[in-house]
Amino acid sequence: MPIFIVLLGPPGAGKGTQAQRVAKALDIPHISSGDIFRENIKKQTDLGKEANRFITKGELVPDDLTIAMIKERLSRTDCESGALLDGFPRTPAQAEALSKILSEFDGKVNAVPYINVAEHELIERLTGRWTCRAQGHVFHEKFNPPKRAGVCDFDGSELYQRDDDKVETVTRRIKVYLEQTMPLIEYYKKLGILIDINGEQTIDQVTANLLKALEKVK
Ligand code: AP5
Ligand code: MG
């Protein structure tokens, strides 16, 4: 049976950082809706141009566009053994759509780790974040610095600061998260698959907690 994991948490909680490690450990693809949008923006596709209008303001990209994009990604053969979703779903409509898509592949959401971090800490994490151009690897100038400033440890590509990591946009993204994504915590709690993870520990400690919690998941 495939295993599908949804990583939930506010902007800057460490979803991308942890998803890269956990997906590797479980040998399933890491699917980040934000990374796919940024890839489309870089290539200037129609989807990228449309998504960029919302992303630069810190708003969510409309559900229909986002759901179609994830459905296409999940239909690829590398998802036959499952996937680790980072940043999707983000609204109740997306959560409903996801369970429908997965049921078409004889799958379901098996576990939803929720990485919890206080708001003031999120702002510090996002405004100090540096992201790699080639593959979206994530660093922090204070908490997780690259070996050489401005250069990705993993693939040597340039590190940049995301446009939506400015303080004003970060504040808006957190508000949007509280309004539109927080209800998913209750939704998955009711389904009995939510796993609380304390995100205010070192990156290694959070990874260890995630892997331990996911060991039991089938
Ligand atoms: P997206 O790219 O998903 O951004 P996000 O959810 O706001 O989350 P982030 O990527 O900012 O944070 P993260 O939790 O991945 O943290 P990270 O590991 O990088 O989405 C961007 C935009 O796309 C959205 O605003 C929206 O417009 C659109 N979008 C995406 N998905 C959508 C959807 N489903 N529907 C509609 N629109 C959608 O870590 C952050 C920093 O903290 C890093 O510098 C890292 O090094 C550091 N750090 C990580 N862990 C720790 C730790 N334990 N201690 C100290 N520092 C740490
Ligand atoms: Mg991310």
At 139-177, the pLDDT tens digits run 999 999 999 999 999 999 999 999 999 999 999 999 999
Average of per-residue pLDDT across 192-215? 97
E strands, the chain, where? Answer: 3-7, 30-32, 82-86, 109-116, 129-132, 138-140, 159-160, 194-198
Is the pLDDT at 104 greater than 80, yes or no? yes
Q: Please indicate, yes or no, if residue 129 is contained in any of the structural domains.
A: no
How far apart are the C-alpha atoms of 136 and 14, rounded to whole Å? 13
Q: Please indicate, yes or no, if residue 8 is contained in any of the structural domains.
A: yes
Ligand 1 proximity of 9 Cβ (cutoff 6 Å): yes
How far apart are the C-alpha atoms of 143 and 91, rounded to whole Å? 30
Q: CA angle 50-158-73, nearest 5°? A: 40
Instruction: Compute the distance from residue 216 Cα to the ligand 2 centre, in Å.
Output: 25
Here the tokens at position 79 are 């998802």
Q: Please indicate, yes or no, if residue 138 is contained in any of the structural domains.
A: no
User: Closest by alpha carbon to 177, among 116, 96, 132?
Assistant: 116
Here the tokens at position 129 are 């974040």
Q: Please indicate, yes or no, if residue 128 is contained in any of the structural domains.
A: no
Ligand 1 proximity of 10 Cβ (cutoff 6 Å): no
**Which residue has the least CA distance to atom 23 on ligand 1?**
34
CATH of the domain at 71: 3.40.50.300
Instruction: Compute the distance from residue 18 Cα to the ligand 2 centre, in Å.
Output: 9
Q: What is the dihedral of CA 27, 206, 174, 66, to 10 degrees?
A: 10
Domain that includes residue 29, residue range? 3-118+174-215
Q: Please indicate, yes or no, if residue 32 is contained in any of the structural domains.
A: yes
Ligand 1 proximity of 177 Cβ (cutoff 6 Å): no
Q: pLDDT tens digit string along 57-102?
A: 999 999 999 999 999 999 999 999 999 999 999 999 999 999 999 9
Tally the domains of the chain: 1
Ligand 1 proximity of 185 Cβ (cutoff 6 Å): no
Average of per-residue pLDDT across 203-209? 98
* Helix, strand or coil, per DSSP, at residue 145: coil
Q: Please indicate, yes or no, if residue 24 is contained in any of the structural domains.
A: yes
Q: Please indicate, yes or no, if residue 85 is contained in any of the structural domains.
A: yes
The catalytic site residues sit at: 15, 90, 129, 162, 173
Ligand 1 proximity of 55 Cβ (cutoff 6 Å): yes
Quote the pLDDT of residue 34.
97
Spatial contact of 193 and 112, defined as CB atoms under 8 Å apart: yes
Instruction: Compute the distance from residue 106 Cα to the ligand 2 centre, in Å.
Output: 28
Q: What would you measure as the largest C-alpha separation in the chain, in angstroms?
A: 45
Is the pLDDT at 217 greater than 90, yes or no? no
Q: How confident is the model at residue 190 (pLDDT cuts 50, 70, 90)?
A: very high
Q: Determine if the pTM surpasses 0.75.
A: yes
Residue 186's CB: how many other CB atoms inside 10 A?
11
Spatial contact of 7 and 79, defined as CB atoms under 8 Å apart: no
Ligand 1 atom with least separation from CA of 13: 14
Instruction: Compute the distance from residue 204 Cα to the ligand 1 centre, in Å.
Output: 18
Quote the pLDDT of residue 218.
64
Q: Please indicate, yes or no, if residue 51 is contained in any of the structural domains.
A: yes
